[in-house]
Amino acid sequence: MRLILALLLTFTSLASFALTFDGLISKTKNKTLFVDNINKKTYTLTGNTAIISTYLAKLSEGDFISIEGTRNTAQTILTVSSVNYIGLSALLGSWIDDKSYCYNFSSFTEFSVTQKVIGRKCAAGLTPNYTYIINPASTSWVMLISGERGGGYIGDLKFISPREIEIQLYDSETGDILSYIQLRK
């Protein structure tokens, strides 16, 4: 019984060291830096596994990240144990597809879809009608999307260039491919 209690206390104390952090990415030549939203301190990000390190390397200046990790304040290092979700700064703004629709990514977690107004111009002041989060994957980004009327989608997001992206949408329940969306800025 004492052994079980000792193990339980050990695991509980280890789990308490992992905290949630939200902030923005800053880049230098050799390092991925993290600016904490709460205390505005800058930390060097390291992954506790090779795959997490690969995900961190994919991020760009100004991207948002929500992570679980441990902080070494003496050395200003933040070791990431898992990525909750990210926000891509390159995705923000208005994107237009070939079917006369405008996708306005107003924040790292919300976007709206409307018809184009004139030419390549999008309607302004729209209320977001979708929420989304992005998770890293090896060759692309995975989008989890939910609409204001319920229902969910999974999207595979790829940047073709800084001004062109592709999203392949899947039904989150069946896995069926719903549509292939090509967007341009």
- Give the separation between CA 71 and CA 41, rounded to whole angstroms: 11
Contacts of 17 (CB under 8 A, 6+ apart): 70
pLDDT in tens, 123-137: 665 667 899 999 998
Task: Indicate the pTM of the whole model.
Answer: 0.82
Helices (H), the chain: 2-17, 50-58
pLDDT in tens, 103-128: 999 999 999 888 776 666 776 656 67
Give me 135's structure tokens: 């998770």
| DSSP string covering 9-41 | HHHHHHHHH-EEEEEEEEE-SS-EEEEETTT--
Number of C-beta neighbours around residue 15 at 10 A: 8
